[in-house]
Amino acid sequence: MKTIEEIVAIYASRQQGSDDAKSRMRNLRDYYNGDVIVPLPEINSDEQSAVANLLAQGLDQTAMRIASTRPDIYCPPSDPSKKRSRDNSEIRRKAIFGWWEHSRMDLQIAKRARHLIGYSTTVTQLRFNAKTGCPEWHLRDPLTAYPATLLGVDDMRPRDVVFAYERSLGYLRTMYPDVAAVFQSDSGAGEDQPIEMIEYISDEEQVLIAMRGPVKTGLFATSSNSDENIVVELERTPNILGECPVVCAERINLDDAQGQFDGILGMYQMQARLMALEVIAVQKGVFPDTWLVGRAGETPQIVNPADGLTGEVGLVRGGDLRDIQMQPGYMTNPAIDRLERAQRLTAGIPPEFGGESTTNIRTGRRGDAVLSAVVDFPVQEAQRIMARSLQEENKLAINMSKKYAGNKGKSFYVTSKNAKGRVDYTPNTNFESNDNVVIYSQAGADINNLVIGGGQRVGMGTMSKRSFMAIDPLVEDPEFEHDAVVAEQLESALLVSIQQQASQGTIPPADLARIMELVANDQMELAEAVDKVQKEAQERQAQQVEATSPEAQPGLAMPGMGAEAATMAPPPGGGGGLAGLLGAL
């Protein structure tokens, strides 16, 4: 159990050690949001950048490709030879999918992909919701997270984490009214007075601290004029899970964590500066500066200023008025274009991200190859990191469910792909282990390449249609889709068979008309209509023969077969059956 002084000391030490990384993250966030100030005295102080924000475009496009395909979960049975173990593994898999749905994992992955690509790290915390009886995923801002030192990209479980963020005094008064009065100041800020919150999470406890001080202790500077440091403990809860419920995933780099777009910030600033200078030169060309140039031996003087709107004629003595026009340098535009190209090459932002294509690409195949070389491998690496992080989070969620609701049954309906249906589980009974594997169907492929590549493999015969349905994003239930495809093919074969029998006269016209009537009036499907007309024909034939003569009840058959053969007229010239025929011979 750590005291609040120890927790604040840990936070101060980590905040100081990660100051460069947090400053880089904040800088990238400002560039992404477009909050870039161009330091030029000729333009307004609130003037923003007037060049294309390639950082936002590249980050969003890459993150959306990472999140466009959904990962799958495989929970291996503890004993594959036992049916109960196999059933429990499927229950565990469906339960995890249900937890993901409850936490809106589809939206969280999109946000986490942006954190991973931009900030080079993503932080996720798991909490148990007592109302729903399920663990929940909470995405935390990496700017506010200070985890313990991690040993590499494969180390995703810190021993403890400190989160530092800001809340208003009004929030504190609503949630913790007993301690809110301690932070009341005379500055007049009132409900909007900022209070810094420090949240400490370890394998032993979770502690929440509110703090206000005269100096900047974290991300936010206090607006208080007081010289007094105020630190108050708001909550302290023991962690019965026994492990820190936070997972931190980092992007792979040589040394320190670095985002994909860190190298283009200086280029973007220089491009914005050149663009601003060019705009200033263009403005001076449209509105030239007027100078009064004196003649030799005379003192120039403006007697009456000119006004074109009123027709007032200007008068000048002892000098001449000259307009000095400024022209932009001829190398300004090429320099701006070079900086844009350098940004695209450094961060891997192809023109296709903006709906354009380079001029040296003539075929669609070549365009796909260029785009694939830029995008596929970063997407593949990010998806593998995300899968590894989700796997650790699933283990935490299973352990948390067993600790907080071990013997409580839970039921809900799952609508995720490949895991549809109702799931009923009791954690201590059905969760034999926390082993799970999170995999992407084809790491590195977005939704478009996934469908195209799968269709090509089906055409080449290296993949079955059933396997392709399992990875197709548009197929929610492969089992249902497979049955529907088989049913459609059999229905087509049945329709062709009926058409052939009708053209050959095998089916009586009255029965064919009855089938057409049932289908056309939307009363039955084709198969149901054929089955109904078949039964009606057999009932009609059963009235003419004994019920124990099934050979005389063929149903839909050629006229003159079965019981209906007796109603047919005898052949011309024939006698009374076989005896008559022999007598005629």
pLDDT value for 568: 43
User: Is 12 within a domain?
Assistant: yes
Domain end among 243, 265, 291: 243
- Reference 92, options 64, 108, 65, 73; nearest CA is 73
Q: Which long-range contacts (CB under 8 A, 24 or more apart) does 273-278 make?
A: 273/38, 273/39, 273/40, 274/332, 274/335, 274/336, 274/339, 275/49, 275/50, 275/51, 275/336, 276/38, 276/40, 276/42, 276/43, 276/47, 276/50, 277/40, 277/332, 278/328, 278/332, 278/333, 278/336
Collapsing DSSP to helix, strand or coil, 425 comes out as strand
- Residue 223 structural domain: 1-28+160-243
| 309, amino acid identity | L
- Strand pairing category for 134-140 and 246-250: unpaired
CB-CB contact of 578 with 585 (8 Å): no
User: Is 373 within a domain?
Assistant: no
User: Is 229 within a domain?
Assistant: yes
Q: Give the other-Cβ count within 10 Å of 572's Cβ.
A: 5
Work out how many domains the chain is built from and give that number: 2
User: Is 548 within a domain?
Assistant: yes
Q: What is the pLDDT along the chain (585 residues), one digit of tens a residue?
A: 889 899 999 999 999 888 889 999 999 998 898 887 776 666 554 566 778 888 899 999 999 989 988 888 999 998 889 999 999 999 999 999 999 999 999 999 999 999 999 999 999 999 999 998 999 999 999 999 999 998 888 899 999 999 999 998 888 888 988 888 888 765 555 778 888 999 999 999 999 999 886 444 444 434 444 446 788 999 999 999 999 999 999 999 888 788 889 888 888 888 888 887 777 777 777 777 676 777 777 778 877 776 666 766 677 777 777 766 666 677 778 888 888 888 888 888 888 887 777 777 777 777 777 777 888 888 889 999 999 999 999 999 999 999 999 899 999 888 887 778 899 999 999 999 999 999 887 766 666 666 777 777 788 888 887 777 776 767 777 777 878 888 888 888 888 888 888 888 778 888 888 888 888 877 788 888 888 888 888 777 777 666 555 555 555 655 445 445 444 445 555 455 667 677 777
Distance of alpha carbon 569 from the chain centroid: 75
User: Is 360 within a domain?
Assistant: no
- Reference 168, options 194, 142, 131; nearest CA is 194
CB-CB contact of 385 with 111 (8 Å): no
- Strand pairing category for 145-147 and 230-238: unpaired
User: Is 511 within a domain?
Assistant: yes
Strand partners, 289: 324
Strand partners, 424: 411
User: Is 177 within a domain?
Assistant: yes
- Token code pair at residue 375: 């995008």
DSSP string, 281-317: HHHHHHS-EEEEEEPTT---EEEE--BTTTTBPPEEE
User: Is 302 within a domain?
Assistant: no
pTM of the full structure = 0.73
pLDDT value for 197: 92
Q: Give the other-Cβ count within 10 Å of 541's Cβ.
A: 20
Q: Is the dihedral of CA 543, 545, 546, 548 positive or negative?
A: negative
